[in-house]
Amino acid sequence: MNSYSSGRRKSADVQIAIFQYLSVMAFLWLLAGFWQLQVHSPEIYAEQAARNRIKSLPLPAPRGKILDRDGRILVDNTPSFKLRLSRTELDREHLPIIAEGLNLPYEKLLERLERLRSSHTPEYQAISIKEDLTSAEVAFVEAHKAEFPELELIRSQRRLYPQGGLAAHVVGYVGEVSEAELHQTEFVMYDPGTEVGKAGVERRYNDILVGTDGSRQVMVDSRGRSRGELGFVEAVPGRSLRLTIDLDLQVVAELAMQDRRGAVVALDPNTGEVLALVSSPNYDPNHFVGGISSSQWRQLTTGPDKPLLNRAIQAQLAPGSIFKPIVLLAALETAAINEDFRVFCNGGASHYGRYFRCWQRGGHGWVGPREALMHSCDVFFYAIGNKLGIDQIAEYAQRAGLSQASTCRTKKRA
C-alpha cells in the first residue's frame, strides 16, 4: 500500500509540474505578444485600428475653366459622381455583383486589378472604377453600403465641353492618366485614376488647370456606415485660363468648314495671336470624359476622316496661295524681278518636265506683280519661284517668321 500510494503521489507531482510549466510558457507567450503590441510596434496596430473606424474620402478639385479672349466660357465643369474601390477592404467575391450593378465588364475589372497588382501600386491607394455615375448606379451603391464597404462614392466635377466639338482641337480633352504616363516626369506626382489633360490646351497647361484635392475624414462603424465627420480639408480649384481665341470668329470658321476636310487658322497680324483655329473633321471631347468606349475609339483612329488629326498644325500640306506674298516679296527684294516684269498665263506652264495648271482654266493673260497677286495667278508665281530658287524662298519665309512655332497661347490667367 505504501509503495502504491507513493507512486500515485509521484505521478500527481509530475502532472502538477507539467501544468505549472505550461502555465508559465502560456503566460510568457501572452506577455511577449503584449510587448510586441504595446512596446515594439504600437504605431502599426494603432494605424490598423484607426483605419477600422476612420475613413478618409477625397474631395476632387475641379479643373480650371477655359475662356475665350473676352472671358466667355469654352470649357466648364458639371457636378457628377465617381466611384472608387478600396483594395484594402476588397472582398473579391463581391466583384461580380459590383460589376453587374454598375454595368461594368467583369473581365476588364479583374484585368485592371491584376495590372495594378503586377505594377506594385500600393494597396492603400484606392482606384477609380467608374466616372459620371447615373442615378440608378448611385442608388445601387447607396443601397449596398453595408454589404460592400470597399465602394467609395465621391462627389466630383465632370469636364463639360461644347456640343458638336466646337474648338475641339484647340482645347483638347481629359482622361485618366495611363500606366505609361505615370512613369513620365510630368505625371510622376499623380496617383492612378487621376484625370489629366491628354491633348490641346488641356495637356499643355495641365499644371495650371489642375487644382489641389481636399479630403474629408468620417467616423464609420464596423459595417462601413458613416457616424460623423471628424475633419475637412477644402479642395482648391484649378486656375482658369483665358485664351486669345475669339469665340464668335471660331464659330464662323467652324460653320465654314462643315462637311469639308481641311483647316482654318486666323491670326492677328499685329501680335501673332491665334484668333481662331479649326481642323475639320473634328471630334467631341465629351466622349473621352470618364473613358471612351472601344467602338468610339476605333471609329476615331481607323476611320478615313482621321478626326483626331489636327490638320492645322500636324498635317504636312502645301501652304497654297497664302504663301504667294512671301514669294513675291522675295523676288522684289532680291531684284529677281521688278514691277514691270510680266508673264503670260494661258492656263498652265511646264517646269522640270511637268505641266502645272493655273486655277483659272482659261488663264489670266498678261499679268504683272500687282495683277498676279490680286488674281492669285499660279503661272506667274511658278515663273518667279523658278527664278528665285528654293534657298532664297526659304530664307525669306524664315524672315517672315514661318519657321517659328505658333501656339494658341494664353492672353490672361484668371
Residues identified as active-site: 321
Q: SS3 of 197, please?
A: strand
Distance CA(249)–CA(70), nearest Å, equals 12
Question: Phi and psi dihedrals of 81, rounded to 5?
Answer: -125, 140
| Long-range Cβ pairs for the range 99-105 (8 Å, 24+) | 101/137, 101/140, 101/141, 101/144, 102/129, 102/130, 102/133, 102/137, 102/140, 102/141, 103/137, 104/129, 104/130
Nearest to 129 by CA among 180, 193, 173, 76: 193
Q: Tell me the DSSP string of 319-346.
A: -GGGGHHHHHHHHHHTTSS-TT--EEES
DSSP state of 36: I
The Cα 330–Cα 238 span in angstroms is 47
Residue by residue, DSSP assigns 229-285 as: EEEEE--BPPPPEEES--HHHHHHHHHHTTT--EEEEEE-TTT--EEEEEEES---G
CA-to-CA dists, residue 172 to 201, 300, 321, 400, 408, angstroms: 6, 14, 29, 29, 12
C-alpha cell at 314: 500636324
Q: For residue 410, what are the β-bridge partners?
A: 243
DSSP class of residue 152 equals E
DSSP E strands in 102-201: the ranges are 127-130, 151-160, 174-176, 195-197
Q: How many angstroms separate the CA atoms of 127 and 113, rounded?
A: 9
Q: Cα–Cα distances in Å, from 319 out to 279, 354, 358?
A: 15, 20, 16
Beta-carbon count within 10 A of 306 CB = 17
Residue length, the chain?
414
Q: Check: CB of residue 132 under 8 Å from CB of residue 81.
A: yes
Smallest Cα–Cα separation from 171: which of 281, 295, 286?
A: 286
